[in-house]
Amino acid sequence: PQSPALLSGQGVGKTYISHDWLGRSRPTAALMDAAVAVRAGETVGIVGESGSGKSTFARCLIRLIDPTEGQILWGAEDVARMPEGQLRPLRHRVQVVFQDPNRSLNPRRTVGQSMVEGAMNFGQSREQAEALAVELMAQVRLPVEALKRYPSQFSGGQRQRLAIARALACRPQVLVADEAVSALDVSVQAQILNLLREAQSRLGLGLLFITHDLRVAAQLCDRVIVMHQGRIVEQGRTTDLYANPKQDYTRRLLEAAPAALPPTEHPD
């Protein structure tokens, strides 16, 4: 039997209402009837072009935006309509790594301060949080002295490692990576994917990986969901979907994707 999902959504939709100059409202459906389940140790990819609804879906799932309809579960808790006050103590369970690592790191605080603050917000003591920060630097392969430095003193790839470390400092059950490697060059992408894979196998995390690039998804994801115009058009095990896409749209995405990344080294 399958283990229960750490993060799931069912029938999730998001409609935006805009108004024209006469004040008439015009609804725009950005997401319709989307569903996903992410279990411990599993990586699920959500793939689609810009405007396909994949980031809207991710932002609903992590409650950065409020869904218009549907059910969103973090473990057994339905958080779709939960007020922020009740949600806050649960937020450590689902942490996000954005495309721009500067969204996770405060430029006016040292890396160490950012990491310790995140961990303490969710109930760790200062001693625990500081010890964890030191441990995480080793895991993301940065020197421990880096904790005393500011985000601007690092390269883009290093900042993304720090953003991953900061997310892991909150001891999440699920990590959501939203285009987390798309701004990085290919060799750095491979290192970050390796890092995500290692963190997942070490901690048993669920990983939800949002990307426009099917080749990157193929390297990391057990299952892939393909989105187009706010809807899920195809999904399945990565190997099956890759070898035999059912939809023209998925075929076009595969053809448009750049050549595969260099193979990443799996840790023994």
pTM of the model: 0.88
193 has which bridge partners?
none
The total domain count for the chain is 1
* Averaged pLDDT score across all residues of the chain: 88
Is residue 268 very low, low, confident or very high in pLDDT (cuts 50, 70, 90)? Answer: very low
Q: Considering the domain boundaries, does residue 116 fall inside one?
A: no
**Separation of alpha carbons 133 and 119, rounded Å:** 9
pLDDT higher than 90, residue 15: yes
> Does 183 fall in a domain?
yes
Domain range enclosing 72: 7-102+173-256
pLDDT of the residue at 1: 64
Q: Mean pLDDT, to the nearest integer, of 245-261?
A: 78
Residue 110 domain flag: no
**CATH number of residue 21's parent domain:** 3.40.50.300
Tell me, letter by letter, the H, E, C secondary structure of the chain. CCCCCCEEEEEEEEEEEEECCCCCEEEEEEEEEEEEEECCCCEEEEECCCCCCHHHHHHHHCCCCCCCEEEEEECCEECCCCCHHHHHHHHHHEEEECCCHHHCCCCCCCHHHHHHHHHHHCCCCHHHHHHHHHHHHHHCCCCHHHHHCCHHHCCHHHHHHHHHHHHHHCCCCEEEEECCCCCCCHHHHHHHHHHHHHHHHHHCCEEEEEECCHHHHHHHCCEEEEEECCEEEEEEEHHHHHHCCCCHHHHHHHHHCCCCCCCCCCCC
Buried b (16+ CB within 10 A) or exposed e, 240-267: ebbeebeeebbeebbeebeeebeebeee
Q: Let me know how long the chain is.
A: 268
The CA dihedral of 265, 210, 196, 133, to the nearest 10 degrees, is: 150
Mean pLDDT within 64-69: 94
64 belongs to a structural domain? yes
Indicate whether 158 belongs to any domain. Answer: no
pLDDT at 73 over 90: yes
- Answer whether residue 132 is part of any domain: no
**Res 267 pLDDT > 50:** no
Q: Tell me what the mean pLDDT of segment 224-250 comes to.
A: 92
Residue 77 lies in a domain: yes
What distance in Å separates the CA atoms of residue 161 and residue 233, rounded to the nearest whole number?
32
Q: Are strands 94-97 and 77-78 parallel, antiparallel or unpaired?
A: unpaired
- Each residue's pLDDT tens digit, 38-62: 999 999 999 998 889 999 999 999 9
Instruction: Give the separation between CA 11 and CA 51, rounded to whole angstroms.
Output: 19
Q: Is residue 145 part of a domain?
A: no
Give the model's pLDDT for residue 71: 96
Query: How confident is the model over 223-237, as a mean pLDDT?
Result: 95
pLDDT of residue 94: 94
**More confident call, 81 vs 216:** 81
What is the residue whose two structure tokens read 């200062």?
126
Residues contacting residue 122 through CB under 8 Å, at least 6 positions apart: 89, 91, 92, 170, 171
Largest CA distance in the chain: 64
The answer on pLDDT for 149 being more than 90 is yes
